[in-house]
A and B are shown apart, each in its own frame.
Chain A
Amino acid sequence: MSIVKLNNNGVKNATEFGSITGLGSMIFLSKQTASSSSTISFTSGINSTYKEYLFTFNNLHPASDGVYLQFQGNAAGGSGYNETITSSYFIAYHFEDGSSSALSYSAGGDLAQGTGFQRLSQNVGNDADQCVSGYLHLFDPSNTTFVKNFIGRTATIADDNGPVDSYTGGYFNITSAIDEIQFKMSSGNIDAGDICLYGIA
Chain B
Amino acid sequence: MPRYKNVNGERIQFTAAEETARDAEEQAWADGAVARAQASLREKRNRLLAETDYFALSDVTMSSDMTTYRQNLRDLPAGKDTVDKCNNATFPTKP
- List the interface of chain A (C-beta within 8 A of B): 30-45, 67, 100, 102, 104, 106, 108, 186-189
Query: Which residues of chain A have C-beta atoms less than 8 A from B47's C-beta?
Result: 102, 104
- Name the one of A37, A44, A186 contacting B5, with C-beta atoms under 8 angstroms: A37
Which residue in chain B gives the minimum CB-CB distance to A91? B43
Question: Which residues of chain B (46-68) have a CB below 8 Å from chain A?
Answer: 47
Contacts A102-B47, A187-B26; is A32 near B8 (CB within 8 Å)? yes
A189 CB contacts on chain B under 8 angstroms: 3
A100 CA / B43 CA spacing, docked (Å): 13
When distances are taken between beta carbons in the complex, the residues of chain A under 8 Å from B6 are 32-35, 37, 39-41
CB distance from B60 to the nearest CB of A (A): 23
* A108 to B35 alpha-carbon distance, docked (Å): 11
Which of A36, A38, A44, A102 meets B22, CB within 8 Å?
A38
Q: Taking beta carbons and an 8 Å cutoff, which residues of B are in contact with A? A: 3-9, 11, 14, 22, 25-26, 29-30, 36, 39, 43-44, 47
Taken together as a complex, chains A and B put the C-alpha atoms of A104 and B47 apart, in Å, by 8
Q: List 17 A-B contacts (CB under 8 A).
A: A31-B9, A35-B6, A37-B5, A38-B4, A38-B5, A38-B22, A39-B6, A40-B5, A45-B8, A67-B29, A100-B44, A102-B47, A106-B43, A108-B36, A108-B39, A186-B29, A187-B26
Question: Which residues of the partner chain A approach B29 to less than 8 Å between Cβ atoms?
Answer: 67, 186-187
**A131 to nearest B CB, angstroms?**
17
Contacts of B9 in A (CB 8 A): 30-33
Q: Which of B5, B22, B43 meets A104, CB within 8 Å?
A: B43
In the complex, residue of chain A having the shortest beta-carbon distance to the beta carbon of B40:
A108
20 new A-B contacts, CB < 8 A, other than A37-B11, A41-B8, A67-B29, are: A31-B9, A32-B6, A32-B9, A33-B9, A34-B6, A35-B4, A38-B14, A38-B22, A39-B6, A40-B6, A41-B7, A42-B8, A43-B7, A102-B47, A104-B43, A104-B47, A108-B39, A186-B29, A187-B29, A187-B30
Q: In the assembled complex, which residues on chain A have CB atoms less than 8 Å from the CB atom of B14?
A: 38
Residues B8 and A38 in contact, CB atoms below 8 Å apart: no
Do the beta carbons of B11 and A35 come within 8 Å of each other? yes
Distance in angstroms between the alpha carbons of A39 and B36 in the assembled complex: 23
